[in-house]
Structure 1
Amino acid sequence: MEDQDRAELCFPELFNASCRKPKLQQADVVLMYLLLFICVFTVVLNLLVIISVSHFRQLHTPTNLLILSLAVSDFLQGLVTLVEVQRQTGCWFLGDRMCSLRVYVATIILGASIGNMILISVDRYVAICDPLHYSTRVTVKRVKMCVCVCWTCSVVYNGPIIKDFLTQPDLYRSCYGQCVGGTDNISGIVDNVLSSIAPVTVIIILYMRVFVTAVSQARAMRSHVAAVTLQHSRTVMNKKSELKAARTLGVVVVVFLMCFCPYFSLSFVQDPSVGGLFSTFAYLLLYVSYCLNPVIYALFYPWFRKAIRLIYSLQILQPGSRETNML
């Protein structure tokens, strides 16, 4: 009987301190394979976005660089989720330090995703609400700097939030073979405000302004489209292009908020019976969001569909493929 009990432990040699191996139900197995499929889908699709924007020189625009940064964070999140699937469905054999590193990396990537969404909202705000100064205010160099600042802030910000867990990686686990993270109450409240409530508020305010301005500009273009000169027609085409980009990235932002808010609302759920079911739904929705952005690009951006064809046909390996006309 004792040998059978030991066989069910993650670390049989630590009989009194080891966790038991999780017993997966059929629903858990289905969920595990679903998450694995989502992870692979996320990694492959976002890798296509990264290759597309990085390889083709014509796609090196300020807006596309923000899309590239978002794709990098989603790609990394897909890889981290693979580790998360193993953690939730089995024992943790990588040790406490790797557990704390996993939590830290995951929070950095999530923070960078939120920062990228804010930068995309600011980019569309300037493009739509102040189009005359967009080309001078939003340049490739400045966007690269903002992206670097975004990732750096995520690294610096998340360190103090989980500093206790980083210095004492066994602080929140109850037995060996378990990998759980956490923060103290004060840090948790501060983190909820700074990493969820404040960014979501900023994004919503910016895109509400973008939406109102875009609607008024669309009406103005429809009313004057028949009386424009050739020079003005080019201006109209540029405005249409910016409005289309605002619509596409608006869909990206809305989808992100829809998938992001349930995850961060978990901290406000007090009822354990609701928390278990709701947390499964919230985590699954968050994981799905990482693979949705490339799907949105494929639906709205012809250049992404063309880039996928060139990548799969290996034409990007040909000399001079970087200069291919993608627009």
Structure 2
Amino acid sequence: MRTPDEDELCYPHLGNSSCRRIVRSHSASVLFHIILSFISVLTVTLNLLVIISISHFKKLHTPTNFLLLSLAVSDFSVGFVWVFMIFLINGCWFLGPGWCVFYVALGFISTSASVGTVVLISVDRYVAVCDPMHYQTKVTNNRAQICIVLCWAGSALFHCLRLNNFIENPGEFDSCAGECAVYVLPVARIVNVVLSFIIPVTIIVILYVRVFMVAVSQAQAMRSHVTMVTLQSSQKVNRSELKAARALGVVVVVFLMCLTPFYFATLTTGLGVKNISSYIFVICLFYVNSLLNPVIYVFLYPWFRKCVKCVFSLQILKSGSSEANIL
């Protein structure tokens, strides 16, 4: 028969070599499982709808939408990271060191690719708004796809190198049985913050400030009934491009709000927290961005709402449906 102390252990039969679980009431534990499961399912489902929509309908095969597709793939992957977080809800890891490596690597690579994709989206909008006459020649489907591949490959290579010791020696840094511990050298941690946050955010902010200035100039010109706006590029900006820039601007702002606390905490205090509650908060906020992105699309993109209707009504199974004008 187990003693109360043994009930607090992840592996009671291992005694003191086992990690201790986080003790919660049964109702609290069930509530946490339900919430995390709901977020995971919703994140996977909504991003899968984005992936299906852009992949299926040929009218949506544009450079901007390919970037949204890349963002959806990274967010879709994060949905599975939520699944692994459910296993850690009581502070015990039962899946073994191999799955621990997969969970950590998937989280880092997918979120890093997400950051890189948001940078590419900012560049895309900058060229579309600030240099509209050359947008079609500078930003093509092939170039967008190459940039996306390089973004994912770079993210995977960087984090595999950063987590090299952890990947080669899974479980080595666990202080007790039932832990999924990651050790990263302080230098590597700082480099990660610089490459995955400081530099990308600087680029994003600079580009969107420029886009915002052009948008303000365009709005002022329309109010004064001016048909041609004198900008640095000396060209009139297409209103649809401005509308797309504003919509994607919302994505960028939400992105910064969700990721900034995590990277700020990482830079100031290592893994960013002095207690488990703070750790859970910054991590959840970090990952919940992957749920918010497709929710934003629902409200800002009419074509996405049409695509969702086509998917649920099974119209995409009809012959020639990929040629439909969904815009």
Q: Provide TM-score, normalisation by structure 2.
A: 0.90
Greater helix proportion: 1
Residues 326 and 2 of structure 1: CA distance in aligned 2, closer, same or farther (over 3 Å): closer
RMSD of Structure 2 on Structure 1 (CA): 2.3
Structure 1 match to 2:134: 133
Structure 2 match to 1:199: 200
State how far apart, in whole Å, the 2-side matches of 1:198 and 1:273 are.
23
Kept after mapping to 1: 8 A contact 2:273/2:279: no
Kept after mapping to 1: 8 A contact 2:47/2:73: yes
Q: Superposition pairs for residues 104-143 of structure 1, below 5 Å? A: 104-143=105-144
Tell me how far 1:197 sits from its aligned partner: 1.2
Tell me how far 1:3 sits from its aligned partner: 5.8
Letter in 1 for 2:257: M
State how far apart, in whole Å, the 2-side matches of 1:66 and 1:146 are.
9
Residues 91 and 5 of structure 1: CA distance in aligned 2, closer, same or farther (over 3 Å): same
Structure 1 match to 2:18: 18
Is the deviation greater in 137-146 or in 213-222? 213-222
Is the deviation greater in 42-51 or in 183-192? 183-192
Letter in 1 for 2:312: Y
Structure 2 match to 1:323: 323
Residues 289 and 273 of structure 1: CA distance in aligned 2, closer, same or farther (over 3 Å): closer
Structure 1 match to 2:231: none
Q: Superposition pairs for residues 1-327 of structure 1, below 5 Å? A: 5-6=5-6, 8-25=8-25, 27=28, 29-89=30-90, 91-224=92-225, 239-270=238-269, 275-327=275-327
Kept after mapping to 2: 8 A contact 1:58/1:326: yes
Tell me how far 1:87 sits from its aligned partner: 2.0
State how far apart, in whole Å, the 1-side matches of 2:30 and 2:266 are.
26
State how far apart, in whole Å, the 2-side matches of 1:252 and 1:28 are.
32
State how far apart, in whole Å, the 1-side matches of 2:296 and 2:33 are.
25
Residues 128 and 67 of structure 1: CA distance in aligned 2, closer, same or farther (over 3 Å): same
Tell me how far 1:57 sits from its aligned partner: 0.6
State how far apart, in whole Å, the 2-side matches of 1:6 and 1:28 are.
19
Letter in 2 for 1:92: W
Residues 45 and 200 of structure 1: CA distance in aligned 2, closer, same or farther (over 3 Å): same
Kept after mapping to 1: 8 A contact 2:20/2:91: no
Give SS of 1:152's match: helix
Letter in 1 for 2:200: P
**Identity of aligned pairs, percent?**
50
State how far apart, in whole Å, the 2-side matches of 1:212 and 1:325 are.
33
Residues 273 and 220 of structure 1: CA distance in aligned 2, closer, same or farther (over 3 Å): closer
Letter in 2 for 1:254: V
Give SS of 2:18's match: coil
State how far apart, in whole Å, the 1-side matches of 2:273 and 2:190 are.
22
Kept after mapping to 2: 8 A contact 1:9/1:21: yes
State how far apart, in whole Å, the 2-side matches of 1:88 and 1:275 are.
15
Tell me how far 1:98 sits from its aligned partner: 1.9
Give SS of 2:88's match: helix
Tell me how far 1:282 sits from its aligned partner: 1.7
Tell me how far 1:5 sits from its aligned partner: 4.5
State how far apart, in whole Å, the 1-side matches of 2:181 and 2:214 are.
45
Structure 2 match to 1:232: none
State how far apart, in whole Å, the 2-side matches of 1:141 and 1:69 are.
14
State how far apart, in whole Å, the 2-side matches of 1:221 and 1:135 are.
24
Structure 2 match to 1:231: none
Residues 8 and 280 of structure 1: CA distance in aligned 2, closer, same or farther (over 3 Å): closer
State how far apart, in whole Å, the 2-side matches of 1:105 and 1:175 are.
23
Letter in 2 for 1:266: A
Q: How many residues align?
A: 319
Kept after mapping to 1: 8 A contact 2:193/2:267: no
State how far apart, in whole Å, the 2-side matches of 1:294 and 1:323 are.
23
Give SS of 1:23's match: coil
Structure 1 alignment gaps of length 5 or more = 229-234
Letter in 1 for 2:126: Y
Kept after mapping to 2: 8 A contact 1:18/1:177: yes
State how far apart, in whole Å, the 2-side matches of 1:295 and 1:6 are.
44
Kept after mapping to 2: 8 A contact 1:19/1:178: yes
Residues 87 and 119 of structure 1: CA distance in aligned 2, closer, same or farther (over 3 Å): same
